[in-house]
Structure 1
Amino acid sequence: MKHITRKKIAFLIADIVAFIVLVALDQFTKVLAVEKLKDKASFPLIRNVLELQYLENKGAAFGMLQNQKAFFILIAILIMVIIVYVLALVPEDKKYNALHVLLVMVGSGACGNMIDRFRTNYVVDFIYFKLINFPIFNVADIYVTVSTFLLLILFLFYYKENDFAFLSFKQQKKFREFK
């Protein structure tokens, strides 16, 4: 088995701390939304552009797949397992720092919404971009959307195919045979 360095442990601890902070921030905003917005009129932040509006979403993005709690929890767990696997294998190179941050953001968003589904059978959404009538969303959704978009940009324009050789089962097998 490959030796785990102090630097690798420090990266993983930073990932865990960031994950906890991001999930806590998401959950805190949802608690505030329940306390301040539930059963109340929407609260405009920028008139006719952005407002806070309480919604209990039992589906996925845009309200799709209503009442599929078990499916969503399973998907969130699968996403988090894959993220932990990738983070454990990522080389200790500076070029992967952004990958660490973005994967932690995706995992935090998935976990934040999974916590809601597990506890209440729905996700608390409360941010409404009224200007374009965008579906109501939450902080966890922002984590997932922004980080997925940035990951796509990194995969298309920054990382090269061989930058992910560390994920190849063939590569790991060759590494074990070499030792």
Structure 2
Amino acid sequence: MTISKKQGYILAGIILILDQLSKLIAINNNTYITNTGSAWGLFQGSRFLLLVISFIAIFYINRYFSSHPLGLSLLLGGVLGNLCDRLFRGHVIDFIDIKLFNYPLFNIADIAIVIAIVLIIFKKE
């Protein structure tokens, strides 16, 4: 699926808004954990490093947008969602729990990032 850069930014914005709203709901219901690292709890306590990586990712997403428009739009939305948490809270809010698989908690931004990586790897655009 090919989308324009404008549509991609709109999609990224929608993901960011959904991610942040869902995290506010989780906070209000006190059904979340804080994650000072990255996916699967890697790099715990490395806030500065993860902020730098996020800003570098945003730069490259914008630079190479035309090569994978849908995947990079999803990636941008996910990166921005977790970046907002790191900047304003000092940690990422994770709240989605799939107890059936004993999988680590995650959030909507993480879902967007995983889907983006799959799309980019298989380049179905």
TM-score, scaled to structure 2: 0.91
Helix, strand or coil: the match of 1:104?
helix
Cα deviations by residue, 1:41-93 (Å, 9 ceiling, x for unpaired): xxxxxxxxxxxx41111111111111111111111111110010012xx2xxx
- RCO (CA 8 Å, sep 6+): is it higher in 1 or 2? 2
Q: Which residue, 138, 141, 156 being the options, matches 2:110?
A: 141
Alignment partner, residue 25 of structure 1: 18
Bigger Rg, which one: 1
**Consecutive unaligned residues in structure 1, runs of 5 or more:** 1-9, 39-52, 91-95, 160-179
Mapped contact 2:12–2:78 kept (Cα < 8 A): no
Residue type matched to 1:25 in 2?
L
Q: Which runs of 4+ in 1 moved over 3 A?
A: none
Alignment partner, residue 33 of structure 2: 55
Mapped contact 2:12–2:74 kept (Cα < 8 A): yes
Alignment of 1:1-179 (within 5 A): 11-36=4-29, 38=30, 53-87=31-65, 90=66, 99-154=68-123
**Consecutive unaligned residues in structure 2, runs of 5 or more:** none
In the aligned structure 2, how far is the partner of 1:118 from the partner of 1:23? 14
Residue type matched to 1:57 in 2?
N
In the aligned structure 2, how far is the partner of 1:146 from the partner of 1:13? 20
Cα deviations by residue, 1:87-127 (Å, 9 ceiling, x for unpaired): 2xx2xxxxx6xx21110101111110010000011100001
Across the two proteins, how many residue pairs are aligned to each other? Answer: 123
Q: How much does 1:18 deviate?
A: 1.5
Q: How much does 1:150 deviate?
A: 2.1
Q: How much does 1:17 deviate?
A: 1.4
**What RMSD, in angstroms, separates the aligned Cα atoms of the two structures?**
1.7
Helix, strand or coil: the match of 1:56?
strand
